[in-house]
Amino acid sequence: MNAGRPYGLLAELTHRCPLHCPYCSNPLELVRRGDELAAGEWVRVLKEAAELGVLQAGISGGEPLLHPGLLEIVAAARDAGLYTNLITSAAGLDAALIKELMTAGLDTVQISFQADTAAQADEIAGARMHERKIAAAEAARAAGLPWSANVVLHRRNIERIGEMIALAEGLGAIRIELANTQLYGWAFANRRELLPTREQAVRAEEVARREAVRLAGRMQVIYVLPDYYETRPKPCLHGWGSRGMTINPRGEVLPCQVAGAIPGLQFENVRSRSLREIWQSSEAFNRFRGTEWMPEPCRSCEFKEVDFGGCRCQAALIAGNAATADPVCEFSPHRALVDGLIAEIEAMPAGPPGWNFRRETVLPVAGR
């Protein structure tokens, strides 16, 4: 199988995190601290990634600030020429650390916000964090470190999208990404509590579009619709194993951060093989590369090179088969499962959220 060149690497330094967001993109089975790659291993991997053609490194987690080798890892990414973005909850990000990170060569920082008010944000995060995030954003701006805001949208906060944009604008963000929850992992377990109604999603999109025009050239506004409300699937990863990869805290290399949701897929580890070998020839990366794996209706579909059959993980989670069309697609034989979930949540009464917070030891209840 002909592997192209990867552009991006998401480095999950740790799964440890002081927040407990019910839509966490980490897998349900979190990697233990003792299994985490050490700084020296990341340094080697980042160099290998750059040689393979990677241009962007996202330093993520969990909370990457909890990894003891963070500064060394950031410096290694930058030394390898990578555009280096720290993706953080901002817990522990103060002026002194910002200065050290900038000296190490960090290009930009992305700070997550859960909502625009402390009351709601702290409730969603399951921790008192909102005011500390604001202080961190102010410190980044004061230091001249460009920062982006990232907000995961869901039924409980999506109607405050205008206020969230105003918050980021007031704090001098260069960019705000307002992404509806991707329903995998912890979020899939909590999907009935997270998916907004269609009306909410459409209204939020209107606000985002208007604000994007108003702020053009000053702050980029990106809105990602919940894909359950699309008729065609997202071009997930621009095709499996095509442009990027994720390395989890214990060194396993995944086509995307939630690919562990696909049963039976074995991920190879940077501790035992080179990144180049894993990217080019591992079974996990080649499984859904290109279009050969596709069954009908994808195989003869005129859009197969446009959306690549959508998302393999979503097919696995909803249809129970990763090698089938993304059930979001209007041509999928499983679209009724998505419509059924939408009908279910549209009929749900308003009330306090019944979601399961991310915990280290407790697995969420799937369904109710």
Partner 1 sequence: MPSIENGVPRLAAHARLRDDPLTGALLLLYPEGVLELDEIAAEIVRRCDGQRTVGAIAGELAEAFEGEGEEIARDVAECLWDLRERGLMQLDP
Tokens of 258: 């939630």
Cα separation, 147 vs 109, in Å, equals 5
Which burial class, exposed, middle or buried, applies to 230 when counting CB atoms under 10 A from its CB (0-12, 13-18, 19+)? middle
- Is residue 280 a contact point for partner 1 (CB under 8 A)? no
CA atoms in the 13 A half-sphere facing the CB of 315: 21
Cα separation, 317 vs 188, in Å, equals 8
Query: Smallest distance from the beta carbon of 82 to partner 1, in angstroms?
Result: 9
Query: Smallest distance from the beta carbon of 51 to partner 1, in angstroms?
Result: 8
DSSP 315: I
Q: Which stretch, 59-67, 103-111, 302-310, 351-359, contacts partner 1 (CB under 8 A)?
A: 103-111
Q: Which of 1, 33, 40, 81 binds partner 1 (CB under 8 A)?
A: 81
Q: Which of 108, 280, 321, 356 binds partner 1 (CB under 8 A)?
A: 108
Q: Which of 174, 224, 337, 342 binds partner 1 (CB under 8 A)?
A: 174
Query: Smallest distance from the beta carbon of 174 to partner 1, in angstroms?
Result: 5
Query: Smallest distance from the beta carbon of 107 to partner 1, in angstroms?
Result: 6
Location of structure tokens 């949701």: 261
70-79 helix and 39-52 helix, angle to the nearest 10 degrees: 20
Residues in CB range of 238: below 8 A, 6 or more apart? 308
- Is residue 214 a contact point for partner 1 (CB under 8 A)? no
Query: Smallest distance from the beta carbon of 351 to partner 1, in angstroms?
Result: 36
Location of structure tokens 């991997």: 45
> With respect to partner 1, which residue has the nearer C-beta, 217 or 264?
217
- Is residue 146 a contact point for partner 1 (CB under 8 A)? yes
Contacts to partner 1 from residues 38-57, by CB under 8 A: 50, 53, 55-56
> With respect to partner 1, which residue has the nearer C-beta, 222 or 363?
222
What's the alpha-carbon Rg for the chain, to the nearest Å? Answer: 20
- Is residue 354 a contact point for partner 1 (CB under 8 A)? no
> With respect to partner 1, which residue has the nearer C-beta, 56 or 190?
56
Q: Which of 117, 120, 197, 220 binds partner 1 (CB under 8 A)?
A: 220
Query: Smallest distance from the beta carbon of 50 to partner 1, in angstroms?
Result: 8
Cα separation, 242 vs 221, in Å, equals 26
* Contact criterion met (CB below 8 Å) for 9 and 54: yes
Cα separation, 82 vs 7, in Å, equals 10
- Is residue 85 a contact point for partner 1 (CB under 8 A)? yes
Q: Which of 34, 144, 264, 352 binds partner 1 (CB under 8 A)?
A: 144
> With respect to partner 1, which residue has the nearer C-beta, 50 or 316?
50
Q: For residue 253, what is the enclosing H or E element? A: strand 253-254
How many residues of this chain bind partner 1 (CB under 8 A)? 23
Which amino acid is present at 299? R
Which amino acid is present at 84? T
Q: Which stretch, 39-47, 92-100, 218-226, 268-276, contacts partner 1 (CB under 8 A)?
A: 218-226
Site string for partner 1, 294-323 (x = CB under 8 A): ------------------------------
> With respect to partner 1, which residue has the nearer C-beta, 25 or 85?
85
Would you tell me how many other CB atoms lie within 10 Å of the CB of residue 221? 24
* Contact criterion met (CB below 8 Å) for 229 and 201: yes
* Cα–Cα separations (whole angstroms), residue 81 to 70, 284, 348: 17, 27, 50
**Of how many residues is the chain composed?**
368
Query: Smallest distance from the beta carbon of 320 to partner 1, in angstroms?
Result: 32
**By the criterion CB under 8 A, which residues form the site for partner 1?**
5, 7, 50, 53, 55-56, 81, 83, 85, 107-108, 110, 144, 146, 148, 174-175, 177, 216-220
